[in-house]
A and B are shown apart, each in its own frame.
Chain A
Amino acid sequence: MATAFGNEKMGTVITKTELQEKIIRQPKGWIGVDWKELARYKDLLWFLTIRSIKAKYAQSILGVGWAVIQPLFSTLVYTVVFGNLARIDSNGVPYFLFSLVGLVAWTFFSNTLSDSASSLITNANLITKVYFPRLVLPLSSVFSKGVDFLISFILLVVFLVIYKLKPAPELILLPWLILILLLTSLGTGLFLSALAVQFRDIKYALTFGIQLLMYAAPVVYPTTNVPVAYQTLYALNPMVGVIEGFRAIFLGTMPFPYHWVLMGTTVAVLIFGIGIFFFKRMERTFADVA
């Protein structure tokens, strides 16, 4: 942020010409995002991210290790329950790897969604005291959960090395999959966070809603178990393309599912658009109802 003072010493008289004019009035209709302003607040985004990571693992012995334990133990439980007991098909790869890949992607999605959806409520004290682009809050959720994702991703790589699996050449498409994942989780998160400021029900519904949602995505079972007639409808869920894409890349369960990924992209962009517009629309009331 450029300061208007050439000389930082106290007592410098400001030259009038440098002052920018700003008008505050009741906003009307739909408002776009002020990307320039958002860029000026990148340092705040950084420190909010650091804050949530540090605060989360403060005074814990394992610290960031929890980011490994969470997906690892879930995977172990699913392997026993769904792989060994229910004998769910895993497209010919060990069920452990099958569900680990699904869970690494899904955990990132669900953590980002729930964290961004509650970001405004948990930071209500900031919203009512200081001005800053409110978008910074849900965005910082994405970044702090991104760190967890990186750690669990490293865990995945370790197991791929142990099982001597080589990724498919579509590895270069991985950022695309992650982008879909981000657009979907952030879009939904933005929408729900704006709603949650006013209706606290969202907070309660979210916890178990996300648990149920997991079964609407191919985390513990493969998409090929869904009847073929419904597969296209099923793939409207952007996470279908993402998870099956992940498996195609790392486990070679199937050829890269371009059609599902393309469908997912379209839906994800739509969700993100709706989310961000709704967020901007509701933004003006945040401080009054938070």
Chain B
Amino acid sequence: MKPVIEVKALSKKYRLGLKESRSETIAASLWQTLKAPIDNFKRIRKLSAFEEDSESIFWALHEISFSVQQGEVLGIIGHNGAGKSTLLKILSQITYPSSGEVVMRGRVASLLEVGTGFHPELTGRENVYMNGTILGMTRKEIDRKFDEIVDFSGVEKHLDTPVKFYSSGMKVRLGFAVAAHLEPEILIVDEVLAVGDIGFQRKCLGKMGEVASGGRTVLFVSHQMAAVQALCSRGLLLANGKVLCNGDVNTVVHSYLQAFNPESVTELSTTTEREGNSKARIVDFCLLDDNHQPLASTYSGGDLILKFSIYKMDNTILSGVDIGFSIHNTDDDSLCTILYGSYTGKLFTLKNDRTELCCRINNLPLPEGKYKVRAQLMQNGEVVDYPTQGVGYLEVMTGDFFGTGVRADKLTRSKPEFLMSGTWTTYES
């Protein structure tokens, strides 16, 4: 069977803004002002014209190729500026590639923004039609699905109110409701789930899952790794306009998190930025789930195992070894929490060249965010090994910490430092 989407050596170049020349004297600046229209003309014209091999050319995408089979849900990930948005824009025909081509088999609908074409002066009802037709639906199709759309959005009461009086959440809900009822063979979605309240987010994810299970192809761009892992079967990692990794979603997400951390696991064994007597070294750090499968990220309230690989540098047996790790905020490196083996009454003896030491954490009390993990090996109060750049990162997604579906870190205005559980009762003496 032919793939639904075939991308062949696709490239897209943009021109970077050229630096403006500055004048230093009054006469020079007067001259600049006079000839400004000519300069402006040249500059603006260059926005769409290219001279080959110019320094100011920026390749947003460079010779990327991949294909997607029918019914696959492909998660496209990568950091900002990796080329995700450009790729989506080409796939949804908003802009054209500079070279290469894409073959698409089926009707495409793309959702790069929620509520495209909404006009503040029009009512919710009118905007449903406006937005729907912009996304490629016909009036008949919208007529038929109108009740469903309104039902999904939950704004029935305000349907005849101009959208300018809507809250931003209502606008988003209405916009997504329209988009969710498109029925294309290929659906392209960009980071739209980052909006709306939790209940609605869950509804959206559910809807997208439904779409995918209906045999349709979905391309999904997101920074929420948990959403990507939950929805997608395959992943595509972009970096600097190139495909870095393409395959099973867990593998791709894992390499995204690695690529994201320049000084992470792979370099840990070789880095010289470390303190201690180096009788043993921490050479690897990773996260595991209960089945000892590698985890790319975890979530609030999740169970996980932190695994440290220790390499013994000399032949003697090391006993009374204490290991500890600390978790820090990535923004300011402030300490969140710290846990040594000795705190729990556990010391290790290193007999073999390589030993794996694990720490299991239940119901992780950290809110959503990215954390830095530092680790240190001690023996008799002496530092054995301490990689000064840390050993890796811990990516925490929003999760069900309380087991009730309520997500505390999404409900408060400022982000809590940590989560705690408690038991609420009425006080009876």
Show the binding face of A for B, using Cβ within 8 Å.
1, 3-5, 8, 10-14, 16, 19-27, 40-41, 43-44, 46-48, 50-51, 54-55, 58-59, 125-132, 198-199, 284-285, 287-289
**Are B96 and A132 in contact, with the CB atoms below 8 A?**
no
Q: Are B133 and A43 in contact (CB under 8 A)?
A: yes
B105's partner among A3, A21, A199, A289 (CB-CB below 8 A) is A21
Let me know if A19 and B105 touch, CB within 8 A.
yes
In the assembled complex, 25 residue pairs joining A and B whose CB atoms fall closer than 8 Å, in A order, are A1-B137, A1-B141, A3-B141, A4-B107, A13-B214, A21-B103, A22-B105, A23-B104, A24-B93, A43-B137, A47-B130, A48-B130, A51-B117, A51-B126, A54-B122, A59-B121, A126-B117, A127-B94, A130-B110, A132-B136, A198-B45, A199-B44, A287-B94, A287-B95, A289-B47
Known: A47-B129, A55-B121. A289 touches B48 (CB 8 A): yes
Q: How many residues of B contact A (CB 8 A)?
A: 58
Q: Which residues of B contact A3 (CB under 8 A)?
A: 107, 141, 183
> What residues of chain B lie closer than 8 Å to A23, measured between beta carbons?
101-104
B196 at the binding interface (Cβ < 8 Å): no
| Alpha-carbon gap, A10 to B209, bound state (A) | 11
Q: Which residues of B contact A (CB under 8 A)?
A: 1, 4, 14, 41, 44-45, 47-48, 70, 89-108, 110, 112-113, 116-117, 119, 121-122, 126, 129-130, 133-139, 141, 144, 162, 183, 185, 210-211, 213-216
**A125 & B89 in contact (Cβ 8 Å cutoff):** no
Cβ B121 vs Cβ A130 within 8 A: no
Known pairs A8-B183, A27-B96, A128-B89. 8 more at Cβ < 8 A?
A: A8-B144, A19-B4, A21-B105, A25-B97, A43-B139, A47-B133, A131-B92, A288-B14
User: Which residue of chain A has its CB nearest to the CB of B97?
Assistant: A26
Contact in complex: B1, A16 (CB < 8 Å): yes
Residues in chain A near residue B117, CB distance under 8 A:
51, 126, 130
Partner of B99, one of A1, A26, A27: A26
| Closest residue of A by beta carbon distance from B99 | A26
Least CB distance, B121 to chain A, in whole angstroms: 4
Q: Of the candidates A1, A20, A284, which one forms a contact with B138 in the assembled complex, judged by CB atoms under 8 Å apart?
A: A1
Pairwise interchain contact A20-B44, C-beta atoms closer than 8 A? no
Q: A201–B215 Cα gap in the complex (Å)? A: 49
Contact A25-B216, Cβ < 8 Å, known A4-B107, A54-B122, A58-B162: no
